[in-house]
Chain A
Amino acid sequence: MTSGDTQWPRYQVFHQEGPHRPHVNSGTVHAADPEMALQNARDVFVRRPDCVSLWVARAADIQSLTAEELESAGVPEPTDGSLGTYQVFLKKSQVGSHEHAGSVQATSAAGALAAATDEFEKEDVLVWWVVPEALMVRTEPDEIDSLFHPAAGKLYRHPAFYHTVTLMRRLREAEGENK
């Protein structure tokens, strides 16, 4: 047995359920490169339809700030660097996941967090995430069919495919007639 060969970088995965819906965080996968991260993300998180696009970014490239951290330590201090675009994801409800909210321009991740806390309403945000646009990898429109279409034909992956309630009812009815 070899160890040391199971720990590839973690990628956060975001999936989009429909064309006009925001990308929502699904969880992470490990992969040697972003291409494989997208492939793994499809297999791990999208075995059923309702997905039109996937984004991945290395977990290490995401800066996070929780409401608790904001309250105890305040808004992060921006540092110098070159101006770039950061995608912003917010977790707004206790049970929900992080959802894509828009983007900000900043010279550092800390600056992006500061800009995000400024731009998006603080009151109902529980966690802020910022990701440098340059480090996000996305599925291409021409891959959508091959990645997501096969799941659409697999109705047997859904509980509604199995008529257990009807079967039990018919059995009870037959039982009743026999009495």
Chain B
Amino acid sequence: MTENGRLAEFEARIRRGEKIEPGDWMPEDYRRQLIRMISQHAHSEIMGMLPEGTWIARAPNLRRKMVLLAKVQDEAGHGQYLYHAAETLGATREEMIEALLSGKAKYSQVFNYPSLSWADMGVIGWFVDGAAILNQTMLARCSYGPYSRAMVRISAEESFHMKQGKEQVILLSQGTAAQVAMVQDAVNRWWWPSMMMFGPHDQESPNSPVLIKWAIKTRTNDELRQDFVNQIAPEVMELGLTLPDPDLHIEKATGNWIHGPIDWDEFWRVVRGDGPCNAERMAARRKAHDDGLWVRQALEAYARREAGVAAA
């Protein structure tokens, strides 16, 4: 079959809603876009452990500590599922880890903001994991089989992440004046970074058309962001809290919550490495990798010895 014939057949498969599996023919650009997206997504899960990880030892009680531990552990697992999905396309774990540690790879900008109070644990769960769920539910319909399967598995767990966060925000918002002030402050700081998680506006998003044509993504950044605002804004207000957007209003005709302008300069600054915590996050990640070296060496020595015993 000619290259054009194969492309036509590939696109017909996508239109029929079929999943592309490792081994199937795919355009080189499909493979490239997927590796880029999946590895960035994997890095985000791994880096996403850091803002919450710092609060595990400071959790206010044992229940909250167990919950936060379980959530952070899930994020490590999500990183693993996603590295696996990228590996089915020929990327190696080594390349991906190297790209993350050297600063070459990108990860979600949202994890470069500091988590300043315990209320951040509630707001991150509700907003950041809530935004992630919208994105991941969409990606569960992705045309690439291994990515879509990883997303199905992840989405189920994210629902726990979101609800444990939302529960905390609800309780804090009905608590003492100090608790209300603490949770309002967290909402103020995380709102815009969470809105930015969906990425640039559709007209500024160069990869979007091809990603949608090949059903890697099935909805656009702005569509997902709109769902997010519609979901969160009314409930935040019901709790007696406010969002830091003076332009936020409901559009009569559509029922959509319309948000004010997003500070894209800030977005690009953080993406390019100059956010409030980029340096700290990268240093923490590199330190964890280096500190784990002896464990990897020990496991390898053990495996070699066992293999030697088996051979003897």
Contacts and interface: CB of A to CB of B under 8 A. Distances in A.
A162 B23 contact: no
Interface stretch (A78-86, A91-99, A141-149): A91-99
Contact of A172 (B101, B238, B289): B238
21 contacts: A1-B286, A2-B293, A5-B293, A6-B94, A27-B150, A33-B303, A35-B306, A44-B77, A44-B81, A45-B77, A48-B157, A64-B23, A68-B23, A126-B19, A126-B21, A154-B70, A159-B163, A162-B164, A162-B166, A162-B167, A171-B239
Given A7-B92, A32-B299, A1 B289 contact: yes
Nearest to A97: B149
Interface in A25-51: 26-33, 35-36, 43-45, 47-48
Interface in B60-94: 63, 66-67, 70, 73-74, 77, 80-81, 84-85, 87, 92-94
Contacts of B297: 5
A29 B79 CA distance: 11
Contacts of B23: 64-66, 68-69, 127
A158 B160 contact: yes
B159 interface: yes
| Majority-rule SS of A interface residues | mixed
Interface residues of B, number: 60
Given A64-B23, A167-B170, A157 B87 contact: no
Contact of B159 (A1, A28, A35, A159): A159
Contacts of B101: 1
Contact of B24 (A32, A66, A158, A161): A66
Given A26-B153, A157-B70, 17 more contacts: A3-B94, A5-B296, A6-B296, A27-B146, A28-B84, A32-B300, A36-B303, A44-B77, A47-B70, A47-B74, A69-B24, A94-B19, A156-B164, A157-B160, A159-B163, A161-B160, A161-B164
Interface of B: 1, 17-19, 21-25, 63, 66-67, 70, 73-74, 77, 80-81, 84-85, 87, 92-94, 97-98, 101, 145-146, 148-150, 152-153, 157, 159-160, 162-164, 166-167, 170-171, 174, 235, 238-239, 286, 289-290, 293, 296-297, 299-300, 302-303, 306-307
B131 to A, nearest CB: 17
Contact of A171 (B21, B145, B170): B170
Contacts of B299: 31-32, 36
A65 B22 CA distance: 10
Contacts of B80: 27, 29, 44
Interface residues of A, number: 50
A46 B152 CA distance: 15
A162 B163 contact: yes
Contacts of A159: 159-160, 162-163
A6 B67 CA distance: 29
Contact of B21 (A6, A26, A127, A156): A127
Contacts of A154: 66, 70
Contact of A167 (B63, B167, B296): B167
A95 B167 contact: no
Nearest to A158: B160
B67 A156 contact: yes
Contacts of A158: 160
